Amino acid sequence: MSLNRTHSTDLMSDRRHFLTASATTIAAGIVCGASNSLLGAATTANQATFRFGLVTYQWGKDMDLPSVISACQQANMGGVELRTEHKHAVEPNLDSKARSEVRKRFEGSGVTLIGYGSNCEFHSKDPEAVKKNVEQCKKYIQLMHDCGGTGVKVKPNGFVTGVPHEKTIEQIGKALNEVAAYGAQYGQQIRLEVHGKETCYLSNVRAIMAVADHKNAAVCWNSNKDDLLAPGIKENFEMVRDRLGATTHVRKLDDGDYPYDQLFELLLKARYQGWVLLEAHSDPADKIASMKQQSEVFGKLLKDAKSKVGV
């Protein structure tokens, strides 16, 4: 049986686990209002604010590490999620000395190493492929622990033809639980990006998280256009609100094709204290100037949202 965009929440596993999973996660402080040490936000649990940073997906992919940090400093971006296979080359093959040097580069820079953007995925019908991705994720967890980060982003990447959606959801959730338990030993949150064909539907993400009930497994909102599908962004946001982790991804904030004003209001109402990270898909000639401009847009959006919400 396939899951459609709005009715996958009828899964028996979803009904059985979701309330328990959400309650457990809230109690652990992994969701909205998580600890300052994890989120890197200078707030208290009863405040509602969040900070702006960068995902090095496009705008930082050709920068070495000193250049990434310098660009964030110049653009008033307080943190960065380093993506794998980019020029800054923060990878598991770094020895202990090199990992220490990465940590030292961030210390005192005013830029927080928020975490790692991995390509680990757990949807394959090949058990060996899933196992390989789990083990790779554990290497990234160790890497971020040594470099001073706070988490690792993973992603579902779609359903597999011929495999029931429920089976894939269960498989992804169990793999998440394994890496979340491992990550907890190293102080590294596991952040499931809302990603992949159909797996990006929030009803399916909620079903995955109902299985992934470990307190250290969280959701990375990804600002997809699919968020706007029926029943709408507010209702879709509510499906995962209680499992939001330390990172939220956005595209260019002034493109006009996504209601970031509504998203910011929803985050404030949820007392979100994490990071909003720019994961732009464009390729401007002057990356730093574009980062500065996006920081200004972020500031205005946040100010306007606070005014509307009354924060």
Which residue segments constitute the domains of the chain, with CATH numbers given? Answer: 8-309 (3.20.20.150)
* Average of per-residue pLDDT across 186-205: 98
Residues 123/166, Cβ–Cβ less than 8 Å: no
Residues 80/114, Cβ–Cβ less than 8 Å: yes
**Alpha carbons 69 and 108: distance in angstroms, whole number:** 11
User: In the block, which residue shows the tokens 């649990």?
Assistant: 45
**Alpha carbons 51 and 76: distance in angstroms, whole number:** 10
User: Which of 52, 48, 50, 51 lies closest to 310, judged by CA?
Assistant: 48
Strand (E) positions, 14-68? 51-55
* Average of per-residue pLDDT across 237-242: 98
Give the DSSP H or E segment for 1: none
Residues 137-190 have pLDDT tens digits of: 999 999 999 999 999 999 999 999 999 999 999 999 999 999 999 999 999 999
What per-residue confidence (pLDDT) applies to 49? 82
* In the predicted structure, residue 27 carries a pLDDT above the cut 80: no
What per-residue confidence (pLDDT) applies to 311? 83
What per-residue confidence (pLDDT) applies to 176? 98
Please give the span between the terminal C-alpha atoms of the chain, in angstroms, as a whole number. Answer: 45
**Alpha carbons 133 and 167: distance in angstroms, whole number:** 18
* Average of per-residue pLDDT across 84-110: 96
Residue 48's pLDDT band (cuts 50, 70, 90):
low
Q: What are residue 277's DSSP bridge partners? A: 53, 249
pTM of the predicted protein model: 0.86
Length of the chain: 311
**Alpha carbons 4 and 8: distance in angstroms, whole number:** 6
Residues 179/138, Cβ–Cβ less than 8 Å: yes
What per-residue confidence (pLDDT) applies to 47? 57
Q: 25 vs 86, which has greater pLDDT?
A: 86
* In the predicted structure, residue 36 carries a pLDDT above the cut 70: no
